[in-house]
Amino acid sequence: MRPRCIICGVDMWPCKANKVYCSPRCIRAHNTMLEREAKAEALKDRRCETCHALMPVTMRADARWCSKACKNAVPHYYRGTRTCGWCGGSFRAVNKDQVTCSLSCGQRLRQSKRRAKG
C-alpha cells in the first residue's frame, strides 16, 4: 500500500511508508486545524454576562455578551453620582474619568488649572 498525505490525500510514492504529510504546507494546515480545535474547546463553556446563556464558539475570545441586545441592556455609565469639580453640583458620570457635569464646567476647570500653572 502506498503512503498518502493525511491532509490532501496526495500519493507520496516513492517515499518512506511511515511518512504522514506530503509537504510543509500540509504540516502547517494540520497544525492550524489542531490549534483551532483546541481554541474552540477552550471557549465552549463561556457564558454571557447579561443573560448567562452559552456563548457561540464562533464569537471572539474576548467577547463578553452573546448579542447586541445583551450588551445594550447593561448601563454604559459609571454607576453612582459624583460632585462636579467646578460648580459643585451632583451628576451621573458617563465614564470612569468624568470629573465635571458638563462641557462648559470642564472648560472652566481646565482654564483655571492653566492660569494656576502660568
Co-location of 38 and 62 in the same domain: no
pTM, to two decimals = 0.45
Other beta carbons within 10 Å of 27: 14
Question: Measuring CA to CA, which residue among 56, 66, 61 is closest to residue 39?
Answer: 61
Domain tally, the chain? 3
Co-location of 39 and 49 in the same domain: no
Question: In this predicted model, what pLDDT tens digit does every residue of 91-115 receive, in sequence order?
Answer: 988 887 889 999 999 999 999 999 8
The residue with cell 497544525 is 31
As a whole number, mean pLDDT of residues 57-86 equals 84
Structural domain containing residue 68: 45-74
In a 10 Å sphere around its CB, with 0-12 CB exposed, 13-18 middle and 19+ buried, how is residue 55 labelled? buried
Asked if residue 79 has pLDDT above 70, the reply is no
Residues in the chain: 118
Co-location of 4 and 29 in the same domain: yes
Question: Grid coordinates in use for 73?
Answer: 441592556
Co-location of 51 and 87 in the same domain: no
Question: Measuring CA to CA, which residue among 88, 92, 95 is closest to residue 109?
Answer: 88
As a whole number, mean pLDDT of residues 54-78 equals 84
Co-location of 34 and 1 in the same domain: yes
Q: What is the pLDDT of residue 13?
A: 77
Question: In this predicted model, what pLDDT tens digit does every residue of 30-43 receive, in sequence order?
Answer: 999 999 899 888 88
Co-location of 39 and 55 in the same domain: no
Rg of the Cα atoms in the chain: 29
For 94, what's the count of Cα atoms within 13 Å in the CB-facing half-sphere? Answer: 4
